[in-house]
Amino acid sequence: MKHVKPLNFSTSRRSFLRTGLAGPGAVGLLAGALPSAAFADNSPTRGDIDILRFLAAAEIIETDLWQQYNELGGIQDSEVPGGSGNPQYTKALKKLDGDMDQYIHDNTEDELTHFTFINAYLVSKGADPVNLDQFRILPSSTATGAQQIKRLTNLMQLTVDTTWWTRYRSRTKNPDFGDTFPPAIPGLLQGQFPAIPRSNHDLTPTRHIQAIANTAAFHFATIEQGGTSLYPALAQRVTNLEVLRILLSIGPTETAHFQTWHDKAGNIVPLTDPTNGLVFPDLNKSPFGGEDFQTNLIMPEPTVFLSGTLPVCSIIRPTATEGAAMAALKALTDDGLFIGQSQGFFTTLHDLATAADAAQREF
């Protein structure tokens, strides 16, 4: 019963904190007074399982969208099989960084392992894994390089929210205090735009395929900043330490992705798409520029956290836990990622998010 000791200590510590007692003697006394049944079972709670199931669904969705990016713009190998690559799209992405194809590949593989691991862990605990295969109904791009299979997500009609750009640059505001932020690319909120070539017709003219690559670059970071907030937000509702370890170990990899994409998004080629008027401004020049838009300010600026009476702190934001799963689902939906999906899909995702948000940390 090796696990009894740490559980014993942590439970008793909470007890003496509640009663105002302190010191090793108090710990031993109160621990001895607690019923042994309280320490007998260290399996995940119902709430832990509900959180993991929502995260598995989110990771399946991430995998589906990243696979589409990788088939057209990433490295094609056995780690992330399926596509054959699109030279024009890959070239446009590489205008932002010569290693874009490697980063896209690695992000895709990471998502594959996230959902595979979480589902396997659920099964190992006797819980149901998440399977969204019945909702693979959306069409693939017909551009050279993409597999012709049905998808969960739609990367061809995105309305990308780029407010994370100014949110992470603000030194005075925090979304957890109700603050709102202007988008870096206002045009991406004013229409539906492809982030992958929809067909080979999208491969020209050059400024059009570059605008598609620019859209993708911002969408990469939009997705990954969402995961960066989702994991710490839900971790606050986890009870079991091993489940907490899972969230604390996967969550920061989302942040590693976000940090990379934040840097690459700053390298977009300023231009106007001649086919639809979408403008990618120079973020270092007026009316942009300054600390709110400067492209090399890619590390989280310190800002207000928890209380205005405390000093500012460089933090992930938001991390409020109330309604975090539903907020993540709403953000993905508002981005247009599920345009064309069935009512059954939305009901399933809604139910998973509702259950995750209802989880409570148990003491």
- Binding region for Fe ion (CB under 5 A): 59, 62, 111, 114, 224, 227, 254
Helix (H) or strand (E) holding 272: strand 271-272
The tokens describing 331, both together, are: 């953000």
CB of 254 to Fe ion, least distance (A): 5
CB of 328 to Fe ion, least distance (A): 11
Nearer Cβ to Fe ion (64/111) = 111
CB of 103 to Fe ion, least distance (A): 12
CB of 301 to Fe ion, least distance (A): 23
Could you tell me the CA-to-CA distances from 259 to 94, 165, 171, 221, 239 in Å, in that order? Answer: 18, 11, 18, 8, 29
List Cβ neighbours of 148 (8 Å cut-off, separation of 6 or more).
Answer: 140, 142
Longest dimension (CA), the chain: 76
Residue nearest to Fe ion (CB): 114
Determine the residue type at 272.
T
DSSP bridge partners of 303: 313
Nearer Cβ to Fe ion (171/330) = 330
Nearer Cβ to Fe ion (113/172) = 113
**Sign of the dihedral defined by the CA atoms of residues 35, 36, 37, 43, in that order:** positive
Nearer Cβ to Fe ion (59/202) = 59
CB of 207 to Fe ion, least distance (A): 29
CB of 226 to Fe ion, least distance (A): 8
CB of 335 to Fe ion, least distance (A): 14
Could you tell me the CA-to-CA distances from 300 to 8, 77, 166, 167, 173 in Å, in that order? Answer: 38, 34, 10, 9, 12
Nearer Cβ to Fe ion (63/214) = 63
Nearer Cβ to Fe ion (224/292) = 224
Kindly report the number of other CB atoms within 10 A of residue 305's CB atom.
18
Contact 280, 267 (CB under 8 A): no
Q: Write out the DSSP string of 164-219.
A: HHHHTT-SS--GGGT-----SSGGGGSS-B-SS-SSGGGG-SHHHHHHHHHHHHHH
Nearer Cβ to Fe ion (193/231) = 231
**Cα dihedral value 286, 290, 295, 299, nearest 10:** -160
Nearer Cβ to Fe ion (59/161) = 59
The helix/strand/coil state of 321 is coil
Nearer Cβ to Fe ion (202/254) = 254
CB of 224 to Fe ion, least distance (A): 5
- Crossing angle between the packed helical segments 206-235 and 324-334, to the nearest 10 degrees: 170
CB of 114 to Fe ion, least distance (A): 4
Q: Sort residue 204 into left (φ over 0), alpha (ψ -120 to 50) or beta.
A: beta
